[in-house]
């Protein structure tokens, strides 16, 4: 990611997962035993993946926009509005794949939560609630933090390759 800004943004999704997971344990009356703790580790991997998917796609859109803009804006030649449009477009385009991944995972965990017995129930509910809350909050927090880092702290959103012009070959 060419720096610390994007990994920091991605890691901010972990507390978001904690909010939903502890809420799920509280609502369902389950304790934070060994299996729910194991589920929390699995949940962290899934939630971080959501942020990575968003940031990667946003970077692709930003890079394309930089290449086609006139070079007069403050963000690597882009205007702030063009940068924000890239973030909004990334959220719109990646919303369906992220939602489908979350819903299929929740669908796979529901039988475990409803009929898995006391060993698996806490883990499944923790992951279900954690996924629901973290996915919604990730789609709000990650683009917001990305914009804050780029607009306020002047972090470059992407690293562009320098194109060198080669001399004409001798004829």
Q: What is the pLDDT of residues 21-35, one digit of tens each?
A: 999 999 999 999 999
pLDDT over 90 at 169, yes or no: no
Average pLDDT over residues 40-49: 96
Cα–Cα distance for residue pair 14/43, rounded to 1 Å: 9
Question: pLDDT-derived band of residue 92, with 50, 70 and 90 as boundaries?
Answer: very high
Helix (H, G, I), strand (E, B) or coil at 149: helix
pLDDT of residue 160: 67
Q: Where are the domains of the chain?
A: 5-152
Helix (H, G, I), strand (E, B) or coil at 4: coil
Cα–Cα distance for residue pair 9/6, rounded to 1 Å: 5
Cα–Cα distance for residue pair 106/25, rounded to 1 Å: 15
Contacts of 73 (CB under 8 A, 6+ apart): 79, 80, 82, 83
Average pLDDT over residues 50-79: 92
| Ramachandran angles phi, psi of 85, nearest 5° | -60, -35
Q: Would you say 155 and 62 are in contact if contact means Cβ atoms under 8 Å apart?
A: no
CATH superfamily, region 5-152: Multidrug efflux transporter AcrB transmembrane domain (1.20.1640.10)
pLDDT over 80 at 167, yes or no: no
pLDDT of residue 97: 95
pLDDT of residue 2: 75
pLDDT of residue 72: 86
Average pLDDT over residues 65-87: 91
Q: Report the helix count and the strand count for the chain, using DSSP H and E.
A: 5, 0
pLDDT over 60 at 165, yes or no: no
Question: pLDDT-derived band of residue 3, with 50, 70 and 90 as boundaries?
Answer: confident
């Amino acid at each position: 990611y060419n720096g610390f800004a994007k990994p920091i943004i991605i890691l901010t999704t972990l507390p978001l997962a904690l909010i939903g997971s502890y809420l799920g344990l509280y609502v369902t009356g389950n304790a934070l035993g060994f299996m729910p703790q194991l589920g929390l580790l699995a949940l962290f991997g899934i939630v971080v993946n959501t942020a990575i998917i968003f940031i990667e796609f946003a970077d692709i859109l930003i890079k394309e926009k930089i290449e086609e803009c006139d070079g007069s804006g403050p963000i690597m030649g882009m205007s702030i509005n063009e940068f924000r449009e890239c973030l909004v477009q990334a959220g719109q385009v990646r919303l369906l794949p992220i939602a489908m991944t979350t819903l299929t995972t929740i669908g796979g965990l529901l039988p475990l939560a409803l009929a898995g017995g006391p060993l698996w129930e806490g883990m499944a509910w923790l992951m279900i609630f954690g996924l629901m809350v973290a996915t919604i909050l990730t789609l709000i927090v990650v683009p917001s933090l990305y914009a804050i880092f780029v607009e306020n702290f002047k972090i470059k959103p992407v690293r562009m390759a320098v194109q060198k012009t080669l001399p004409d070959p001798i004829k």
